[in-house]
Amino acid sequence: MAKPLSLEKILFSQGFGTRRYCSDLVYAELVSIKGVLCEDPEERISTEGLVLNVEGKDWEFHEKAYIAFNKPANYECSHKTTHHPSVYSLLPRPFVERGLQCVGRLDYDTTGLLLISDDGQFIHKMTTPKKNIGKVYEITTPEPITQKQIDHLLKGVVLDDDPRPCLATACKQLGENTLAMTIVEGRYHQVKRMMAAVGNHVDTLHRTEIGQYVMPTDLAEGEWRWLYSADLQKLSKSVDAERA
Ligand code: URA
């Protein structure tokens, strides 16, 4: 059972601003719980199943945040962007305040499943190739995809900056110019470079799955949702567990 915390600390932990600002939110009568207005920022409250209402919006308490986001094209996965707006501009302000980070980056023109969290251990686990967690990308290409190219991807290709071969752990041809490819690493522009190395190109790139977690069909582009423990279990299933 989680230890009760002061309301001010709870608001602060969720990213609603400085401790002082969080107290002021309460004094300004902008915080309620289950329809009851909160009056005392020092009031101790259990965080178990807690849903706050802050400035008219419901907010589930999560000690650590794990979210799935459907990334649109033309957004960068960075706080300090160069040419395009940041994916963080599409998320609620408290997420940015509490330091959520993308779990591995997608290129500005790549769309689809992006995880975002403030749990450093989780971020490491999901991005290290040692855990063998598969990421599935749907690729469309200008040139028809050949069996020879698929065999080459499965066997492994050597990219120019690293002698270790990069391989696809699975490839499923979905159409003449469409391929679903699974990889466990996250090297720079990996999919695009792998496709170029086998003599084709990427027109569009869309991530659909991580581990056994499939992007929900009702999560529209630009939308996010909380991930719960069942989702986290699916996410951390390794490629070997998928094959078993
Ligand atoms: N591989 C790429 O080339 N780009 C991405 O955004 C992700 C994987």
> 191 and 142 in one domain?
yes
Residue 244 pLDDT class (50, 70, 90 cuts):
low
Residue that wins the pLDDT comparison between 123 and 129: 123
Task: Tell the residue number behind the tokens 């063998």, with chain if given.
Answer: 132
> 166 and 185 in one domain?
yes
**Looking at ligand 1, which atom is closest to the CA of residue 107?**
6
> 118 and 238 in one domain?
yes
Q: Can you give the pLDDT at residue 242?
A: 62
Q: Looking at ligand 1, which residue's alpha carbon is closest to its atom 7?
A: 106
User: 242: CA distance to ligand 1 center in Å?
Assistant: 22
> 156 and 44 in one domain?
no
User: 223: CA distance to ligand 1 center in Å?
Assistant: 20
- Here the CATH number for the domain that contains residue 180 is 3.30.70.1560
> 217 and 121 in one domain?
yes
Question: Which backbone phi and psi does 95 adopt, to 5 degrees?
Answer: -65, -40
Q: b/e map of 134-167 (b: 16 or more CB within 10 Å)? A: bbbbbbbbeeebeeebbebbeeebebeeeeeebb
What is the C-alpha to C-alpha distance for residues 166 and 182, in angstroms, rounded to an integer?
A: 11
- Here the CATH number for the domain that contains residue 79 is 3.30.70.580
Q: Which of 90, 73, 76, 118 shows the shortest CA–CA distance to 227?
A: 118
> 145 and 102 in one domain?
no
Q: Can you give the pLDDT at residue 237?
A: 83
Catalytic: 107? yes
> 216 and 206 in one domain?
no
> 148 and 49 in one domain?
no
What is the C-alpha to C-alpha distance for residues 88 and 78, in angstroms, rounded to an integer?
A: 8
> 46 and 90 in one domain?
no
The mean pLDDT of 215-238, rounded to a whole number, is 95
* Beta pairing partners, 175: 178
202 in Cβ contact with 139 (< 8 Å):
yes
> 100 and 36 in one domain?
no
> 74 and 40 in one domain?
no
**Looking at ligand 1, which atom is closest to the CA of residue 109?**
6
Percent of the chain with pLDDT over 90: 89
> 237 and 121 in one domain?
yes
- Here the CATH number for the domain that contains residue 21 is 3.10.290.10
Using alpha carbons, list the distances in angstroms from residue 176 to 151, 179, 190, 191: 15, 8, 22, 18
User: 181: CA distance to ligand 1 center in Å?
Assistant: 11
Q: Can you give the pLDDT at residue 81?
A: 83
Task: Please give the helix or strand (H or E) that residue 26 lies within, else none.
Answer: helix 19-27
Single residue among 22, 44, 60 that ends a domain in this structure: 60
What's the structural domain count of the chain? 3
73 in Cβ contact with 114 (< 8 Å):
no
Averaged confidence pLDDT in the chain: 95
DSSP class of residue 86?
B
Q: Can you give the pLDDT at residue 3?
A: 82
What is the C-alpha to C-alpha distance for residues 74 and 110, in angstroms, rounded to an integer?
A: 8
> Residue 92 pLDDT more than 70?
yes
Please choose from 111, 205, 210 the residue to mutate so as to test ligand 1's pocket, defined by most ligand atoms within 8 A of CB.
Answer: 205
57-60 and 162-166 beta bridge pairing: unpaired
Q: Which of 31, 68, 72, 37 shows the shortest CA–CA distance to 52?
A: 31
> Residue 177 pLDDT more than 90?
yes
Predicted model pTM: 0.93
Segments forming the whole domain that contains residue 230 = 66-129+212-243
Q: Of residues 107, 109, 119, 203, which has the active-site annotation?
A: 107
Q: Can you give the pLDDT at residue 86?
A: 97
User: 18: CA distance to ligand 1 center in Å?
Assistant: 36
pLDDT in tens, 3-41: 899 999 999 999 999 999 999 999 999 999 999 999 999
Which two structure tokens, joined as six digits, stand for 137? 């990308």
